[in-house]
Every structure is written in C-alpha cells, then in structure tokens.
Amino acid sequence: MRNRWAILAAFLLASSALAENGRFEKTISFPRGTDATLDFVYQKVTVREVQCRNYPDREDVEKARTKDHDDHSWLWWEFHVDNRGSADAKVHLWVEILDAKGNVVKSSDRSGDVDAGKIDDSIRVSTRLRTIDIADSPKVRIKVQILPK
C-alpha cells in the first residue's frame, strides 16, 4: 500500500512539474472520425481537443493499397483552444504520426496566438503524407507548449 502512495505522489509531482512550464505531451489513438480530448491547461489557457480533418475515404485508401502506393493525402489537425486569462498567449503545437512500432512517420508543427478572453479558438496544423501511412498508423503523439506572449 505504501508503494502505491509513493507512486501516486511521484506521478502527481511529475504532472504538476510538466504543467508548470506549459509543456505537455500525450500519445493518443489516431482520431479517425472522432475528437480526441487533450485538456492541457497552463495558467488560464486550455488546449481542449484535437480533430483530424480530411481523413481519406475508403476508396482512396483502397486505391493507394492496390494501384498507387505513393499516393499522398493532406490532413488538417484542428486544435480547439480557450484563453480565459487577461493576457495573450502563444501556443506551439506538434503532431507526430506513429507507425505500429512507435516510430515517427511524419511530424508537423505550428504556432498560433490566442488572444486574452478568446473562447473556442482553433489552430490548424497541416500534414501531408502517404495515404497508406495514414490508414496504417495506429497512434499520434501530440505535443503542446503554452507560452505567455
């Protein structure tokens, strides 16, 4: 029982230290047709969720598998951000698409400003990669850094 409390305390300390500097990281299942909850909060800025837009349809994936293995598709990762504070913030976002072994297939990033008091702002990160890699990648690693502006 004592070990469980020690592990919990260490986890909480690590989590709060991570939040203190405004850096977050989370590996999620590839959000195919659904939103992925992130809930990264630093000061009064929240990166709530991410949505994958423009996911290739079944026919595009099948065409890439059977005819054109080098077919590429664009994905847009739409992050929903709130700034309930009184100061503007800068949010830097990274998306790393991972293969079945956990290796990075493609990485993209972007920074955006979030004005003070802005609710449900969005920042998009675009990624272009092989359609087969999109279909076969099980996980995505999301990294976020929230900074005062």
The superfamily (CATH) of domain 23-148 is Immunoglobulins (2.60.40.10)
Give the residue extent of every domain in the chain: 23-148
Q: What confidence score (pLDDT) does residue 17 get?
A: 41
pTM of the predicted model as reported, rounded to 2 decimal places: 0.84
**Do residues 89 and 45 lie in contact, with contact meaning Cβ atoms separated by under 8 Å?**
yes
Distance CA 86, CA 41 (A): 15
Among the listed residues 41, 124, 50, the one whose alpha carbon sits nearest the alpha carbon of residue 84:
41
Residue 41: burial class (beta carbons within 10 Å; 0-12, 13-18, 19+): middle
Largest CA-CA distance found in the chain, in angstroms, rounded = 59
Contact 52, 106 (CB under 8 A): no
Q: Of 143, 148, 142, which is closest to residue 28 (Cα–Cα)? A: 142
Yes or no: say if 116 and 85 are a contact pair by the CB < 8 Å rule: yes
pLDDT per residue as tens, the chain (149 positions)? 555 555 544 444 444 444 558 999 999 999 998 999 999 999 999 999 999 999 999 999 999 999 999 999 999 999 999 999 999 999 999 999 999 999 999 999 999 999 999 999 999 999 999 999 999 999 999 999 999 98
